A and B are shown apart, each in its own frame.
Chain A
């Protein structure tokens, strides 16, 4: 950049002092301020080795590390060094201050302070830069030698592209390559910055002196903010000012006041205790989402006609107005959609039937009429809010406009006032008559399935749900069982009991009967009941160990292909016969950490993906229930669910006595919850932006149409958006989710959710409007997808890297001028992001390596997390921990009081009092932890005579005393409040290893565990990386 910068010769006349005068505010301030403000780490090391940091200056400046914006700051110093010809920092303090301040935090100080004090860190795979530091560490001692050269090199080739590195490489080969390799993403970013730098360049050089380091965009806010000294404001400056104003003082406080700022971001001080090099951070002060998920209010307040956030959440409701701005938002930009989220009573989505006019849609972009369309021309035309085309209003839909341009019939038109609405679909939206709900059960009856007791629970559960299956009287039902052969059941209504037909030719599967394998439930009810009653005993003596899963799946497909519907597969062994048989490819320790690691997590046999594609085509959704205690290759089986909009439920080592209740509840919910059939979903958005990637369980038909054979309220889908145009000219971007589906009652409907979001020109505003829940949801899906193509470690690193980039970007916005040098600063809206990021890295799909989670559990958790709505996902990532004993001991406390008493604790072992009783609830299970010194009374009351036994064998049941009843009431209440999954209760006593470890301790995400970071370490690590080469 700088080399070819023609601006260079233009500013030779500038007095040398100016740059300094100008520069200090930028460079030095943070540094000096950080000292007094909070003993930042900088202060910690400054006295020890003033020389040490300096040699590194070249590093920091040349390092590709910093984002685009940092390059501008980095570059300034070198020229000054060379100007005086003698580089020593002493001669020109201010300039050094700049690099010094920035640089200190990076490798050197961090290594000097932190790694030394925290051994585990070193061995641990830290995201990016920390790795180099380790090898680096000795270097502070040999600083002066390379010192001269690097600055020159930087200077000679100012652009922060590759040239300088190669030079410095020679002096510091190792670190440099390290840096570069670990930041593949930066090259792109820089080039982005380059694209836009031209307008800024003019401003920057003007006070920087002779060299023109092409300050990237981000520097403008700084400049503009540094006070009034900015000379004739070039294009960039006003931009910066204006944007700052917009974002900072939209009404929060008087412009310029620090108070106004405080609402914008939070900061944490990380100071060092005098005399120690261990940076202290007050763990209590760290932000924690103890209130659970909080839906962003701002968004809905700004646009009251938007759909409820339970249906659609944007990662930030400030949509960037330019690609360059979007590229500085390092977090995902997109949405999480839960089209059928359960609405509380009274908030049901209104149903609208356009009988005579047909559904009103935009002629060009097919947007459905919504509250944001505008009527003009006395009500004869309406303008589409998404593509701004002027459409005619059909005669039957015409209404006069009042004085304000609103239709006079507005109060009778929910589609023009509500963000969520359902349209009754006319025949054009039907390929065929609405299908009835269809449930087909494919049940493994091999010996392991029989022994686990799964068959019995399944049969009982299905039988008990027959009355509640949606869609009476059209509901269709069918069964097939399989071991080494496939058994079909004729359920013709005229029979008294089902007839079984066995097909053992697995190579050429055929269906033995054209009809009556799938029957109308209301007509064949008694046959179905007889079948379910006899199913458990039918196979009780079966000793067949084989599993013809693939052929059975094909057979089920043939039976269902006429109608589609839901296929529920209960699988207890590894498929061993016929197509789709799977190998015990196993969870090999040696594969971890190699390039082949991810292969374990993707389907082994193409059969599964092809089959999933076929199933989707015929509107069949697959739900996999897996039960084995041995390896069953969930990665392969789950593929069926993944591409058909289904789900994976995994009950490792299923025993009906222990897991029966969980299976019963979850299967019942699966069967009885309101389900949308044969559906497709599309999300539309305004011109200039486009959804480009979709994440979740579905199959993409064409580029943007999600095929969803079945959808229910527990499924959410994430999508990311990109800017197609360099600059958005509109003020608002609209989003519209449309789900075309057949309801269980046989009505074809279109559910439409519409939302508007403002376009912003400022990064700070994007941060302010960020929704951490949505960000984390998209993040998790991306990270889990990444584990399918690379190592777990890489997936975790990418999470960390993006958080660091985002916070760094934010820091660059605010840190300097507000003297927050040594603090971690983060936007208020994203204050939980680092913690959720940590929790994500420690969640089952991503944690550790071979030993930290069995492969099947990892995969099934991954499949589950891909579908979870925001609230449930956050709960899973940061579960609640509640102390129970005090409440239980209180005499007359009613369950209602419990709400008030329910105080979530930070997830750290230090919060576990050994005299207490704690409940850990992650939305999928309860773990009740009995402290070692818990009063025996309590234990005895709750557990009866078993209270001293090993708790793994004890199940919690209601006993004859008030305390036990109270506890059961609490659990019941909690389960009812969150019915998607059944919380299976595990009891564990303090010190009872290894159960305590995997049930609770490894899930206390704030604690350090094995190779994983604790919260404090994680924050420090992120902070260090954020400050690196700012």
Chain B
């Protein structure tokens, strides 16, 4: 079941729209929203280029798609079919592009398309129950394939930047230390002569 839905611009992480009463019955809504924001920030720095991705976090899982420099992200229970989640995002994407496509680049304030929340709300309801005829049909749709979408862990994703930093730091330390070693070795060599 869909817990959170957020739409943001990838270039600068500006939130464009968000599902309305998404945080109902969700205890740690704030915590997960923070994670989403961190994720958007990462995306805006040009990492995780994959246009479709699933990221595990606690009992939930984020699914997102990036299209036309907009990231559509939803958070679901882990048990919720991945296929449905991505179809939900596709639906949002299609409608969002149709309605707001032209203005996405020029949006200058946060939640500039907050009016889209009514559509999010409506669509969400359609996907709520996995056993409706409509959703079963979608699940069986073999044309829509989600197997190859990578699943990663949120720590891993949010930690990626950190690790890269670590690696570059270590390598730079290695460079400088090897230079010292070279100097010392040269000195020693001279002394030996």
Query: Which residues of A are found within 8 Å of B121, using beta-carbon distances?
Result: 520
A522 within 8 A of B: yes
- Chain A 739-760, CB-CB to B under 8 Å as 1, else 0, gives 0000000111000000000000
- On whether A748 and B111 interact (CB within 8 A), knowing A433-B15, A523-B122, the answer reads yes
Complex interface: chain B residues within 8 A of A424 (CB): 108-109
Nearest CB of B to A528, in Å? 15
A8 within 8 A of B: no
Provide the residues of chain B in CB contact with A520, threshold 8 Å.
118, 121
Partner of B118, one of A353, A427, A473: A473
* Contact between B118 and A355, CB atoms less than 8 A apart: no
Chain A residues proximal to chain B, CB less than 8 Å: 353, 355, 424-427, 430, 432-434, 436, 473-474, 514, 520, 522-523, 562-563, 746-748
What's the nearest-Cβ distance from chain B to residue A19, in Å? 74
Identify which of B17-25, B58-66, B90-98 touches chain A. B17-25
Q: How far is the CA of A357 from the CA of B122 in the complex (A)?
A: 36
Q: State whether A433 and B117 are in contact (beta carbons under 8 Å apart), knowing that A523-B122, A563-B21 are contacts in the complex.
A: yes
What residues of chain A lie closer than 8 Å to B24, measured between beta carbons? 514, 562
- Indicate if the CB atoms of A522 and B118 lie closer than 8 Å: yes
Considering the chains assembled together, what is the distance between the CA atoms of A432 and B24 in angstroms? 13
Give the interface size bracket for B toward A. 10 to 19
- Given A562-B21, A562-B24, A563-B21, A353-B108 contact (CB < 8 Å): yes
Check: B152 CB closer than 8 A to any chain A CB. Answer: no
The reply to whether the CB of B182 lies closer than 8 angstroms to some CB of chain A is: no
Q: A353-B109, A433-B114 provided; 12 other pairs, C-beta below 8 A?
A: A353-B108, A355-B108, A426-B110, A427-B14, A427-B110, A430-B110, A433-B17, A433-B20, A433-B111, A433-B117, A434-B111, A436-B117
Is the pair A473, B109 in contact by a Cβ cutoff of 8 Å?
A: no
What separation, in Å, do the CA atoms of A355 and B115 have in the docked complex? Answer: 21
Determine the chain A residues whose CB is within 8 A of the CB of B15 once the complex forms.
427, 433
User: With contacts A353-B109, A748-B110 known, is A433 near B18, CB below 8 A?
Assistant: yes
Instruction: Please name all residues of chain A whose beta carbon is closer than 8 Å to the beta carbon of B21 when the two chains form the complex.
Output: 562-563
Q: How far is the CA of A563 from the CA of B20 in the complex (A)?
A: 9
Interface residues, chain B, with chain A CB atoms under 8 Å away: 14-15, 17-18, 20-21, 23-24, 108-111, 114-115, 117-118, 121-122
Given A433-B18, A523-B122, is A426 in contact with B109 using a C-beta cutoff of 8 Å? yes
A sample of 11 cross-chain residue pairs with beta-carbon separation below 8 angstroms, ordered by A number, consists of A355-B109, A426-B110, A427-B14, A430-B111, A433-B114, A473-B118, A474-B117, A523-B118, A748-B109, A748-B110, A748-B111
B114 close to A746 (CB less than 8 A): yes
CA distance A474 to B14 in the complex (A): 21
Q: How many whole Å from B143's CB to the nearest CB in chain A?
A: 29
Chain A CB within 10 Å, residue with most, of B18, B23, B109, B115: B109
Q: In the complex, A563 Cα to B17 Cα: how many Å? A: 16
Taking the nearest CB of chain B, how far is it from the CB of A955, in angstroms?
44
Distance A848 CA – B122 CA, assembled complex (angstroms): 58
| Whole-angstrom distance between the Cβ of A750 and the nearest chain B Cβ | 12
**Distance A432 CA – B18 CA, assembled complex (angstroms):** 9
How far apart are the CA atoms of A473 and B111 in the complex, in Å?
Answer: 15
How close is A118's CB to chain B, nearest CB, in angstroms?
66
Min Cβ gap B62→A in Å is 18
Question: Which of chain B's residues has its CB closest to A747's CB?
Answer: B109
CA distance A866 to B18 in the complex (A): 38
Cα distance, A650 to B145, chains bound together (Å): 63
Minimum C-beta distance from B149 to chain A (A): 27
Minimum Cβ distance to chain A for residue B33 (Å): 9
Which residue from chain B places its CB closest to the CB of A518 in the assembled complex? B21
A474 neighbours in B (Cβ, 8 Å): 114-115, 117-118
Chain B contacts for A747, CB-based, 8 A: 109
In the bound complex, CA of A430 to CA of B37 (Å) = 13
Which of A426, A427, A434, A522 touches B114 (beta carbons < 8 Å)? A434
Let me know if B114 and A473 touch, CB within 8 A.
no
Smallest beta-carbon distance B66→chain A, Å: 20
The 3 closest A-B CB pairs, nearest first, are: A433-B18, A746-B114, A562-B21
